[in-house]
A = this chain, B = another copy of it.
Amino acid sequence: MTEESDRREEILEAALEEFSSKGFRGATIKSIAKAAGIQSPALIYWYFQGGKEELLQAVLARHAPVIQALRHPETLMERPPEEVLPMIARAYLATANSPIPQRLARLVIGEALRRPEVADMVAKRGAVRGLWFLKTYLEHQVELGRLRPHDTRSSARALIGMFVPQAVGDAFLPALKESDGLTDEEHIGTSIGIFLRGLRPEGITAEGAEKAWGVVE
């Protein structure tokens, strides 16, 4: 259960590479076999009797934990948004800049366009969980009086959404970032600044908030 065959792992790696760059239909069993360094496509059927389809499922399953991610140590819950939100934004944009998650995103997006099950998996395991965590965190901060009361379903979407164009630029449309040269850190600073100021309770200034909640940096 724990020890996977080396060959199987090699095939899965090659399949992710091929599927993500060429798409499910564009990648052929032979090209995957070649990329995995094996002589015959027949060997793939020894490890994945279900053929190409099972291979795709196995690749997705192989990285499902990564997709889930965003394990939320409850420690974050108590820390103030001035600290937590930039952390989340940095983690998000860092993911968009890493090769494996990029390939996974290419594969998953491409397949989600045609396969409702994949779209559903993305929505439920990825998006809904992420939004649920953000919403819970923001609600808790409202209860603590650090943010003014509002609809956290909406603010959770708005918060993560603010970084989507930049992430898409990183991962898929380099021309977008080149157009004005906005760096990730600049964007994080400005947009979280707007977000927090927009949700600051009445009559509280930035300096007062930092002192009251013990912001580290």
Contact = CB atoms under 8 A, between A and B. Distances in A.
Interface string A143-181: 000000011011101101111111001001111100110
Contacts of A160: 165
- A interface majority secondary structure: helix
Contacts of A124: 175, 179
A61 B199 CA distance: 43
Contacts of A172: 112-113, 119
Nearest to A130: B165
A127 interface: yes
Given A151-B186, A172-B113, A194 B23 contact: no
Q: How large is the interface on A (under 10, 10 to 19, 20 to 34, 35 or more residues)?
A: 35 or more
Interface in A184-204: 186-187, 189-191, 193-199
A202 to B, nearest CB: 10
Contact of A23 (B25, B127, B153): B25
Nearest to A180: B153
13 contacts: A110-B110, A112-B173, A119-B172, A128-B175, A131-B176, A151-B186, A153-B186, A154-B182, A160-B165, A161-B161, A161-B164, A164-B164, A196-B198
